[in-house]
Structure 1
């Protein structure tokens, strides 16, 4: 079953639960391997809505930063409401190109349950996405976090730059880079202990 179908069902069943707080899954906090103290994840899945802006930018940047840091990571991206095969936005490609990172021939992928099974760590761009995934897939809840939580800013969502122009995309990529660098610094510290 596509994640989107399960997300819709979960949202209907628990409408408003994420906004109300409630429960360990909604609370954030670090736990499990990704949360701190455990092994560094090797397979990272970045998730946004359409898989044309934030998650492909984050995935491309994480790949580049992991190489720079000497970390062996497999990185993928997907969207909770992606139109399969849609290209990344030109602004996303341009923002990355300004940093010397090629987005390549990225095509949007709709998040599937198999993606969640593959990943050691799932990083969403917003708390709402995190909560919906945790509600729809409680068996994977321990590895689903926001990028903000893992980057040391749990109160921050990475807002969607779609329709905002190149300056907004650059600002979004700056925010993603800050969070990813903080996360990678923590992982390097874990590997050194």
Structure 2
């Protein structure tokens, strides 16, 4: 017997600067959720404010475009208190992001905070590696990992 579908209308993806991982996952999720016929609002934020107002990292935009995802209109934003009230599910890219989110939110939001890869799939890794200081191929790996995670997200939302 399958699991019950999870009722989620709004999902927020969160990383450190909102220029690599979370905008990528937002873009992948937006496309695949729509393709799956799921009407779910998605967005992304960063826990830090260093890149507010900037586009996604050039390398991430290129890797995403090569895989068919559009990140050109992304504008980095910082996580705000209102986000904890607005979103049904807030998914952090790594453990540090999750700890920062827990510290910034009130306890009533904690049951809606989780690690993106842990929540969407039982398979490791649970932390989504940050490609920012890595090698060029790390950006393509990020796209593949985002696709895997979003596939798990859709499955879980449908009760699989």
Q: TM-score, normalised by structure 1?
A: 0.74
Match of 1:47 among 14, 18, 37: 14
2:56 touches 2:74 (CA, 8 Å); kept in 1?
yes
Name the CA distance, whole Å, in 1 between partners of 2:58 and 2:103.
33
Name the CA shift for 1:89/1:146 in 2 (closer, same or farther; >3 Å). same
| Structure 1 portions without partners, runs of 5+ | 1-35
In proportion to residue count, which structure has more helix? 1
Residue 76 (structure 2) pairs with residue 113 (structure 1): no
Shift of 1:147: 0.6
Structure showing greater relative contact order (alpha-carbon pairs closer than 8 Å, 6 or more residues apart): 2
Shift of 1:159: 1.1
Shift of 1:104: 2.4
What is aligned with 2:28? Answer: 61
Shift of 1:107: 1.3
Q: CA RMSD in A?
A: 1.7
Shift of 1:166: 3.0
Shift of 1:188: 2.1
What is aligned with 2:114? Answer: 145
Name the CA distance, whole Å, in 1 between partners of 2:27 and 2:146.
11
Shift of 1:155: 5.5
| Structure 2 portions without partners, runs of 5+ | none
Shift of 1:38: 6.1
Name the CA distance, whole Å, in 1 between partners of 2:81 and 2:104.
10
Name the CA distance, whole Å, in 2 between partners of 1:130 and 1:136.
10
Name the CA shift for 1:69/1:63 in 2 (closer, same or farther; >3 Å). same
Name the CA distance, whole Å, in 1 between partners of 2:4 and 2:94.
24
The worse-fitting range, judged by mean Cα deviation, of 44-53 and 79-88 is: 79-88
Name the CA distance, whole Å, in 1 between partners of 2:70 and 2:6.
29
The worse-fitting range, judged by mean Cα deviation, of 154-163 and 171-180 is: 154-163
- The CA deviation string for residues 20-55 of structure 1, in whole angstroms up to 9 with x for no partner, is xxxxxxxxxxxxxxxx74632110000000000000
Moved >2 Å (runs of 4+): 36-40, 163-166
What is aligned with 1:128? Answer: 96
What is aligned with 1:12? Answer: none
Q: TM-score, normalised by structure 2?
A: 0.89
Match of 2:146 among 176, 179, 185: 176
* Paired positions, count: 155
